[in-house]
Amino acid sequence: MKDTDDLLKLPGIIQMDDAYWGGKKHDGKRGRGATDKTPFLAAVSTNIKGHPIYMRLSRIKSFSISEIEHWSFNHIHRNSIVVTDGLGCFSGVKKAGFLHEPIVTGGGYESVEIPVFKWVNIMLGNVKNSLHGTYHAISQKHIPRYLAEFCYRFNRRFRMESMIPSLARAAINSRPIPQHQLKLAEDWW
């Protein structure tokens, strides 16, 4: 699932935001600086009418200009327009050669109500609630797989009849993976 979705380059108008999963709750640090938080990038591709078409949730090493530039180059279609908040690292989108519109939001709960970020905020809320409601615990090293599962279903919601045959094809064409390799996951830190 993850490999298939990683090949898709997001087209159209893309809403992008930074997000985090987990973290220790009792060490006094909150927000971006909290201990053991896993950073991931949320991007939702919308059409000209503003309807969500595709989404991608990608764990990244950090929110740095070079990391966002690399991600943008690999996951955004050439003719896309990217809208982000004013976080400095998102200048990497423009550095990768894409049309980028940063909007300084000022942070806080009011920034969630800005219409241009409607779908990325809805998707982040949906994925976090879905994961919290479904799983008791999520290992940081497996976060990319959980996020990929959510994206896979969302990106194929208009072609639901093709999901099972697509999964069967992927299973048939995949080589066996021993348990010890499965435990390694995408742990590239």
Q: Residue 121 sits in a domain of what CATH number?
A: 3.30.420.10
Q: What is the pLDDT of residues 147-168, one digit of tens each?
A: 888 888 888 888 888 878 887 8
Residue 180 structure tokens: 């010890």
Tally DSSP H helices, then E strands, for the chain. 7, 5
The strand pairing partners of 13, in sequence order, are 46, 81
Q: How many domains does the chain have?
A: 1
Residue 86 lies in a domain: yes
Instruction: Name which of 29-38, 40-49, 57-66, 141-150 the model is least confident about.
Output: 29-38
Residue 64 lies in a domain: yes
Mean pLDDT of the chain: 84
Dist CA 64 CA 70 (whole Å): 10
Q: Which helix (H) or strand (E) holds 100?
A: strand 99-103
Sign of the four-CA dihedral 82, 121, 68, 101? positive
Residue 189 lies in a domain: no
pTM above 0.75?
yes
User: What is the side-by-side order of every strand in the sheet holding 38-46?
Assistant: 52-59, 38-46, 13-21, 81-85, 99-103
Dist CA 47 CA 73 (whole Å): 20
Query: What is the domain extent for residue 73?
Result: 2-184
